Amino acid sequence: MAVSRSTSADGVPVTVIGAGPYGLAAAAHLSGHGVPLRAFGQPMDSWRTRMPAGMFLKSTPSASSISDPVGAFCLDRFRAAEGRRPEGDLHPVPLDEFVRYGLWFQRQAVPDLETAAVRRVDADGGGFRVELESGEAFGSRSVVLATGLGPFARIPAQLADLARTGLVSHPSEHADFAGFAGQRVAVVGAGQSALESAALLLEAGAEPVLVARTDRLLFGEPPTRDRPEQRPLARRLVKPASPLGPGWSHRAFSGVPGGYRYLPPGVRRHFLRTVLGPSGAWWLRGRVEGRVEVLTGRAVRAGEDVGGGARLTLVSRDGGSTVLEADHVLAATGYRVDLDQIALLAPGLRDRVERTGGAPRLSAGFESSVPGLYFTGLAAAATFGPVLRFVCGTGFASDRIGAAVAARG
């Protein structure tokens, strides 16, 4: 599937910025609609440089395919192309395999991807002016922003001072944990990233201590069969399979994301906070429980630099406080969408984007209040729900974007 690249002097009909799962899927679907485009970004960059070596995907293989218009480039097809058999829920996908898959998808579905970075997008007449790091600039009638999670990494205010001294980092700053061997590392958080980071730190020879606000750590239920359709009928009726995991609510969030934007804003915010709350994949339990030191029911109140080490003051619900000293603090405290962190959007253009919380308010076709400016991936989760946080949302998003941009002409 070749991307139709415009050479028109008036600019391109659409520019896709970002070459992770969402940008690649958007480009593939736009091409499927015959819309000429230019697509930019280092393919699978976040997965290659911002995730730790040795990581596995929490999503199951069947929920980890990047979407293309005819389903030709799913994970199973890639495995077949590598001469391997498909595997199911009992076999988590290793990070390095997913990176290889994403690069293969790019070569097949978006072969004309340009690896240049985009420096700036600004309004220009009824369209946009796109400027690359190389200095090249061109006009574009529409822009699809698929720049991912990077700008939204969140470090809590209580740790901000320590972050400035380099004693605190976010997991997205590490492509492996080998450099922490021999160090005591406080890992703050109770989600997949915190739990997997703690396991990987331990396995890299560090001494992790997990600090969690929750009263206990939660892990998923191990699947009893490799394929959801192999489960007994009664189990399937009570907890139907879905890309977000078993259960009717997960099925609704993944099956009808288009309905999510009709929920009242407060309800949408609530679901976004609580659906798929902090927990680890089933296969992490044995690598964490009984192996990693855990302090549950505690929140970080303050952090200070004590001569090159970190001292954290932790408070429990009953008001009691504990002091924890560590060589480093890993704030596995997630991501928070804030449009103001997308530096490549010119401030004047950014200010014209209406918001819901810090995220852009989007139409059914993923278009913001600025005509022709589309957002996909995590930035769209406030409008379409939790499925947009995962690779399994690439089909819904790209299908809608492809149709909307094609209709715009």
Q: CB of 145: closest distance to ligand FAD in angstroms?
A: 9
- Estimate to the nearest angstrom the gap between the alpha carbon of 366 and the chain centroid: 17
Beta-carbon contacts of 208 under 8 Å, excluding residues fewer than 6 positions away, are: 184, 185, 186, 187, 197, 198, 201, 202, 292, 293
Q: CB of 129: closest distance to ligand FAD in angstroms?
A: 15
Q: CB of 390: closest distance to ligand FAD in angstroms?
A: 3
Minimum CB distance to ligand FAD smaller for 217 or for 314: 217
Number of Cβ within 10 Å of residue 37's Cβ equals 24
Helix 21-32 and helix 95-109, axial crossing angle in degrees, nearest 10: 20
Q: CB of 143: closest distance to ligand FAD in angstroms?
A: 11
Rounded Cα gap, residues 227 and 193, in angstroms: 25
Q: CB of 141: closest distance to ligand FAD in angstroms?
A: 19
Minimum CB distance to ligand FAD smaller for 241 or for 392: 392
Q: Which residues of 44-83 are buried (b: 16+ CB within 10 A; e: fewer)?
A: bbbbeebbbebbbbbbbbbbbbbbbbeeebbbebbbeeee
Query: What is the DSSP pairing of strand 37-40 with strand 12-17?
Result: parallel
Q: CB of 180: closest distance to ligand FAD in angstroms?
A: 16
Minimum CB distance to ligand FAD smaller for 56 or for 161: 56
Minimum CB distance to ligand FAD smaller for 19 or for 324: 19
Name the site residues for ligand FAD (rule: CB under 6 A). 17-23, 40-42, 45-46, 51, 57-59, 64, 117-118, 146-150, 193, 344, 377-378, 390-392
Minimum CB distance to ligand FAD smaller for 146 or for 314: 146
Minimum CB distance to ligand FAD smaller for 19 or for 284: 19
Rounded Cα gap, residues 145 and 131, in angstroms: 14
